[in-house]
Structure formats: C-alpha cells, structure tokens
C-alpha cells in the first residue's frame, strides 16, 4: 500500500475536524466544557467532537482499518487491543489539550496508520498555521509537499527538551544531575504535535519522553525517523504502537545525537 496516496484524503478529514470542532471552540471554552481526565490532564468538548469527525472520515478513507482514538480508548480501554490489528487508524483529536484548554498554542491534530503494530504513516496538522507534517514508511518525511531532512540546531551544547511530567521523583533527579549538564535545556511544549517537528526543523536536537501512548507518538516517531533523525526506545528497540504501555523514548535530530544521549541514560 502506498500510504502517501492517502494524504489528500486524510488531510481533508483533519482539516474538516479542525474547521468544525477544534477552531470554533478555541479560546471560547466555558468551564463546563473542560473536564479533568486524570491528574494534570484534561479533555474538552472539542476533543470529543473532533475525534468523532476524524473517526467517521478515516473510516471512509480506509474502511478495513480498526480505529483507536484517545478519547474512545479512555472510555473503553479494551480498544487498545486493536493497536496490533492488521491495519489501525490511531487518532489524537487534539494533542496539547492542556494548552488548548488554556487558550494558547501549541496544539495539533495527529493521525497515524499502523500495520500489525508498526506505524506505516503519520500526519500532524497545526490548525493555527495549516502546517502538515507527514511521513510514510520507507518513503520519507514531508512538510506539505516538500520532502525534508532533519537538521541540527548547531548549538553547543546540543538543545534538549526533556519531559519530566510523568517521571517519578528519583528519575527526575537522575535526569537533572546526569543529563542536564550536558545540554542546553529548553521548556517542553506539552505537545508532541509540536515537539516532534522541532526535532526535524532545527529547533531542538533531542528529547526524552517517559509516557509513550500511541496517539501521542506514532506519527511523530515515524516523522523523525523518515527525516533521517532517530526515535526509539532507550535500548534501541523500535517504537511499536502495540507496546505503547511501556515507558521511555528518545528522539534526536541525528543518530549520533541519539547514541550520545542513550549512552548517558544507560549510565545513570
């Protein structure tokens, strides 16, 4: 299957969800339209509306694929078993919901297609700018119609965004003492739909993620890898969507930077 040929249809579905559900509620949410989903995690009426639009639209694009959306899986965790299906659409209706609910960027829509647990295509849409980042297994990474190669920031030391949010206190301290001194640390955007493009577009050199849920990482990991960077488990194993319950993921703008950071993590 040539997943690149799906891009116009997938983009149309994502733009439809952005136009009908995401942007109309942006900076207009009332308190009763925002619910706490977990500690430091919220869901809005826009997430739910957008996921329905995406699910319905993607089902028309590729009817034979299972569909696992973030909000549907939260309501019915049994859906996570479908991540290993022969074909599966994976939906994050609004990535960066905390930002979105606070009325500020970044946030984005993320869609991935997996085959037997391996991501074969991913699309990341920034609805504020219209930027589409997408990647296709073995066929490259693109911003819009332009193929792209990952580039370093050129900074010394390299620029790192380390997500400490889901780490326990001991791991946070180990990161601060063993990793931080070797990098210029920058704030994380709390939005994988922005963090992964930053690794390719010369904004950040590397990132560490603790929680690795499929809807947050499937599209971005493929985007980095197809652009010539490297995103993988700390031990070097490929990221698989049917193993998204496992912790730990490193992303870097080059394999050399990845190796360097992985070695430092292993030495902690």
Give residue 1's pLDDT.
67
Other beta carbons within 10 Å of 13: 24
User: What does the domain layout of the chain look like in residue ranges?
Assistant: 3-147, 159-266
* Token digits of residue 253: 């703008």
- Rounded to whole angstroms, what are the CA distances from 144 to 23, 91, 148, 228? 20, 20, 10, 17
Q: What percent of the chain has pLDDT over 90?
A: 87
7-17 helix and 45-61 helix, angle to the nearest 10 degrees: 160
pLDDT exceeds cutoff 80 at 39: no
Peptide bond into 124 cis (omega under 30): no
pLDDT exceeds cutoff 90 at 172: no
**159-266 is classed in which CATH architecture?**
3-Layer(aba) Sandwich (3.40)
Give residue 18's pLDDT.
98
Average model confidence (pLDDT) across the chain: 95
With tokens 């009908």, the residue in question is: 20
Distance between CA 10 and CA 189 in Å, rounded? 25
For 90-134, what is each residue's pLDDT tens digit?
Answer: 999 999 999 999 999 999 999 999 999 999 999 999 999 999 999
The pairing of strands 41-44 and 108-115 is unpaired
pLDDT exceeds cutoff 80 at 65: yes
Least confident segment among 31-35, 68-72, 163-167, 220-224? 163-167
**Residue 131 · residue 143 · CB < 8 Å:** yes
State mean pLDDT over 239-266.
Answer: 96
For 42-52, what is each residue's pLDDT tens digit?
Answer: 999 999 999 99
pLDDT exceeds cutoff 70 at 136: yes
Identify which has the larger pLDDT, 177 or 150: 150
Identify which has the larger pLDDT, 227 or 40: 227
Q: In what order do the strands lie in the sheet with 140-143?
A: 66-69, 88-95, 108-115, 118-125, 132-136, 140-143, 146-147
For 176-224, what is each residue's pLDDT tens digit?
Answer: 888 989 999 998 999 999 999 999 999 999 999 999 999 999 999 999 9
Same topology between domain 3-147 and domain 159-266: no
Give residue 249's pLDDT.
96
Give residue 226's pLDDT.
98
With tokens 């993988």, the residue in question is: 232
What Rg value do the Cα atoms of the chain yield, rounded?
A: 17
Banded pLDDT at 174 (limits 50, 70, 90): confident
State the alpha helices, DSSP H only, in the chain. Answer: 7-17, 23-25, 45-61, 70-75, 97-101, 169-178, 192-200, 214-226, 255-266
CATH topology of domain 3-147: Fructose-1,6-Bisphosphatase; Chain A, domain 1 (3.30.540)
Give residue 168's pLDDT.
83
Distance between CA 120 and CA 32 in Å, rounded? 38
């Amino acid at each position: 299957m040539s997943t690149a040929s799906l891009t116009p249809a997938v983009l149309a579905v994502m733009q439809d969800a952005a136009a009908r559900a995401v942007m109309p509620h942006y900076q207009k949410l009332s308190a009763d339209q925002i619910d706490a989903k977990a500690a430091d995690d919220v869901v809005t009426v826009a997430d739910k509306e957008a996921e329905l639009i995406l699910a319905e639209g993607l089902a028309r694009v590729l009817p034979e694929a299972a569909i696992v959306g973030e909000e549907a899986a939260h309501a019915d965790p049994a859906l996570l078993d479908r991540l290993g299906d022969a074909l599966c659409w994976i939906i994050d209706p609004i990535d960066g919901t905390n930002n979105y609910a606070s009325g500020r960027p970044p946030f984005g829509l993320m869609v991935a297609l997996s085959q037997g647990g391996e991501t074969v295509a991913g699309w990341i849409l920034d609805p504020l700018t219209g930027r589409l980042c997408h990647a296709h297994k073995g066929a490259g990474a693109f911003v819009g119609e332009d193929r792209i190669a990952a580039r370093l920031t050129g900074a010394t030391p390299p620029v790192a965004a380390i997500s400490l949010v889901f780490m326990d206190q001991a791991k946070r301290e180990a990161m601060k003492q063993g990793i931080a001194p070797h990098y210029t640390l920058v704030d994380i955007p709390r939005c994988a739909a922005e963090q992964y493009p930053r690794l390719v577009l010369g904004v950040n050199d590397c990132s560490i993620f603790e929680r690795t849920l499929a809807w947050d990482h499937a599209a971005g990991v493929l985007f980095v890898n197809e652009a010539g960077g490297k995103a993988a488990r700390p031990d070097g194993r490929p990221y698989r969507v049917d193993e998204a319950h496992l912790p730990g993921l490193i992303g870097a703008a080059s394999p050399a930077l990845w190796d360097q950071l992985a070695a430092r993590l292993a030495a902690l």
